[in-house]
Structure 1
């Protein structure tokens, strides 16, 4: 007889294990979706009041979709290895009214707007390969605008979360929630009908409780004709050992976030340093190759003529991308341009909007800034990989390391490492590989997962 999920399963069970329950007939998609919707009801606006979910799918819509997928399963029609499972997505992915949730990018100005169609990634194979979108996540950013996709997965609102990355937007929240996450290289996944801030830096990604989960979702996100794709998907890269893996570790003293972004005392810095170095030692002892320290261009060097290059590009691209979305992809909207979003001068927090609206940077300077970022980041990364004959570079996620990934367009992942002694907050490391090497990242992530202890239940939910 089908059953609801236990609280422990809601908080810890990976998607692939839930799929095994479905295959065995122990439960159904209707029961699984009901269980996660109930958890949202308990702790999103009530209970712990996490407020991770901006919009929840209407129960009748979500359960009708789940029932349809159960019926398909009964007739041996499976859309893929994620068939019948729920997912939450960041509220920048356009969702048609049929799904029962608006698309606002966290802005009151877009309440009531109606996308003409789902984002391409949501459309693919009819609303993902058999997934049920049960919630749209918030965008407030204490460490990344995909924060609430990670919080939702960690809190048991769904086993899988979809976000986007511009510069740490996905890997930083994954790091904080002790999750595994992977952002696809820029351009390897469709961004059509996704509200973005920059075409140069913006890319989709996923978070999950295990590397296998992340691999399965990333398979859906990657363009079907993306290079280096295995016919068996990214799951073909899953391993449980370090044999043949060669990585470089950075010097943690050079790769730390500034105090303006992240308060860190000497005790935590020492804990991170020793834990990071211990990880390198364990990898060597497990048969992997570690080169340390790796010399890389620092994020502070990503400049054009002594001016930070990333803001030059973003100010120019944000207005173009948002205006295109508002004008081309919506059936109905109160606003049709970035200019119409601007509030009176006395309203705070509009720097991004105003800077983009008032931007008069010549196009040739924007192009030179974009080229400078690619040149500095890609050249530095490629040189380090080639000189040391390594496959990837590893750094603390609590660092500006993600700026190198954004500037180069390379894929980046995050994996859990430990918890801060003083308050139990999780921290992890980021792994950077070169173009079209998502499979390499999955291989290294899975070796990491096999060597280190399983992630713990989130502190808020411990009894």
Structure 2
């Protein structure tokens, strides 16, 4: 069998693998075998990142891979992802014939039998993608209640970063926390378990794990992706997003996640059309990194670390300033997270709590059999199985209870939604763009910015800016655009990727005999 090196498993994107498949340098069956070996080596043992909830049965995988290899040999290639193994968050319904369960991280769904897979899963399978397995996550995408760390579920346990040893005392956004709720999807890609993965995001659940895993990731515009058969936060904030090792892969997978209506608006070559590797025509406002950062009690950092991140942030601004046809404005101001409060509570939560009962009930209708049929059933199941669902270190289901017992009024819900949409969107980013003639917003990802993106319904993306000298944790630059302007974001990301060194790889997963030059300070050619 032809082997990929440890560095190749960690670094090669799907586009490069597709080239190898097309040339006959490797087969899909061989790819599957090597990713399974990497999972066996480092998921539950070795580095023990614990990123997966389930792996597709080996024989199913090899049969599918052989079918796709045969199709390729006969001249049939379904898509640019034909024969590529991917991983998906366990928030997507997967039908029994996939060999994969649907748990959303909860034992309440351990007997769940859906009628069919989520629409996006069916689409990906029709494109010739190989579903390698399902990834761990914040249980119920974080809707259960407060958790001391992101990336924990009753079914999957605690997922850990491939870059830095996990310490529960760091808290839910601390240095060693891999963030969530699409934790396993991000960690899996960074650990070399697959070239790419998909997750879901309500508030930060794709881009923040992508940030901590040194990946390119995007949450597209709200209501532009195929959410049918996906565990809901709320359709007012939810979207499906990709987590990848390259901007090209992100462009390909993002186009695959869109609704037919949104997909029809793209050029024939999809988002790849916009990968110009040029900043020309982009007008970017940069937020003040001293304001847009997690406070010390959330993310403890050394003075040297703060200086390193600030230096890298300033460097990318300076790089863009000197490009032809660009505009950089710094610092720009937008509403802060506290401005999203409505009558003493974060307005986003009012929307989630109001919709929770109906959204969960609608989701559960997609199962032929399941332990629970309602939010009430789910809360009671957790009480009845507290030893598994409410252990001493994760005893909270307060958000489920609040959605059940303290649902806001319709009037409060509508007013809260209008307030946050207006504050973050029309009177926030949209106003800034109009007044200052901007078309993109840039910011440090180690901040609460995902709240603003969710409240506005705007697309948000992250790209690796470097790795901390202190502990090796990746840190990232984020961007946001107006709804439907992912084209500008992909243009920016392609130019960014062409201007910096390759994304940092997890040193602990690189074999000792591998020749790899890690960036010494940031990722810049400066």
Normalised TM-score (structure 2): 0.85
Q: Which residue of 2 aligns with 1:395?
A: 443
The question of whether the paired residues in 2 share the 8 Å contact of 1:199 and 1:317 is answered with no
Q: Distance in 1 between matches of 2:101 and 2:297?
A: 34
Give the structure 2 partner of residue 155 of structure 1: 191
Secondary structure of the 1:292 match is strand
Q: In angstroms, what is the RMSD of aligned CA positions?
A: 1.5
- The SS at the match of 1:163 is strand
Q: Could you list the per-position Cα deviations for residues 115-172 of structure 1 after superposition, in whole angstroms to 9, with x for gaps in the alignment?
A: 11110001116x1511001010001324211111010000000001100111111111
- Determine if contact 2:450/2:460 at 8 Å carries over to the other structure: yes
- Matched residues in 2 for 1:128 and 1:359: separation? 43
2:401 maps to which of 354, 358, 372: 354
Shift of 1:184: 1.1
CA contact 2:232–2:363 (8 Å) conserved in 1: no
Whether contact under 8 Å (1:228, 1:437) holds in the other structure is no
Secondary structure, counterpart of 1:436 in structure 2: coil
Q: C-alpha displacement at 1:286, in angstroms?
A: 3.1
Match for residue 444 of structure 1 among 474, 492, 497: 492
1:329 corresponds to 2:366 = yes
Aligned match of 1:296: 334
Q: Displacement, 1:259?
A: 3.7
Deviation (angstroms), 1:356: 1.1
Q: Secondary structure at the match of 2:22?
A: helix
1:191 equivalent in alignment to 2:239: no
Work out the CA distance in 2 between the residues paired with 1:115 and 1:381: 40
- Aligned equivalent of 1:182: 218
| Aligned pair partner of 1:418 in 466, 474, 477 | 466
Write the distance in 1 (CA, Å) between the matches of 2:186 and 2:7: 18
- Structure 1 residue ranges (4+ consecutive) displaced by more than 6 angstroms after TM superposition: none
Aligned-pair CA distance for 1:244:
2.0
Mean alpha-carbon deviation: is it higher for 148-157 or for 128-137? Answer: 128-137
Give the 3-state SS of the residue equivalent to 2:417 in structure 1. helix
CA contact (8 A) 2:353 2:407 kept: no
Pairing of 1:221-236 with structure 2 (within 5 A): 221-226=257-262, 228-236=265-273
2:180 to 144, 147, 160: 144
Shift of 1:174: 0.7
Aligned residues: 460
What are the equivalent positions in structure 2 for 1:80-95 lying under 5 Å apart? 80-95=79-94
The C-alpha deviation readout for 1:321-371, integer Å capped at 9, x for no partner, is 112112x10011111112122233984111121111112311111011111
Runs of 5+ unmatched residues, structure 2: 139-149, 151-176, 513-526
Runs of 5+ unmatched residues, structure 1: none
Displacement of 1:447 after TM fit?
0.6
Contact 1:5–1:31 (8 Å) recurs in 2: no
CA distance in 2, matches of 1:97, 1:280: 49
Aligned match of 1:210: 246
2:255 corresponds to: 219
Q: 1:130 pairs with 121, 128, 151, which one?
A: 128
TM-score, reference length from structure 1: 0.96
Secondary structure of the structure 2 residue equivalent to 1:344? helix
- Report the alpha carbon displacement of residue 4 of structure 1 after superposing the two structures with TM: 3.1
